Amino acid sequence: MLVSDISRFGGGTPELKLEWAAIDTGIVSQSIALFYAATGLGTRRRASIAKDRLRELLTLKDTQYPLLEHPVGCTK
């Protein structure tokens, strides 16, 4: 699960901070996918997740946004 805390970004509007969070999430997501591929595992990026439920389960702050998850499986 990739979660971004937009309070960590200095300056900018909340909308701009969410845009930066999405960009950072994409960069980290690519690194995760490359790692899994290199180790013989497979993953798919998923943004269609129960974000409200995850916020509750993870007790996230108002500035923390669950953005993406990477389910993992064996490719062989």
Question: Can you give the residue ranges of every domain in the chain?
Answer: 2-74
Alpha-carbon distance of 34 to 54, in angstroms, equals 25
pLDDT digits (tens, 9 = 90+) for 21-59: 999 999 999 999 999 999 999 898 998 999 999 999 999
Q: What is the pLDDT of residues 1-30, one digit of tens each?
A: 999 999 999 999 999 999 999 999 999 999
Between 3 and 76, where is the model more confident? 3
Whether residue 76 has pLDDT greater than 80: no
Pairing relationship of beta strands 64-68 and 2-5 according to DSSP bridges: antiparallel
Biggest CA–CA distance in the chain, Å, is: 46
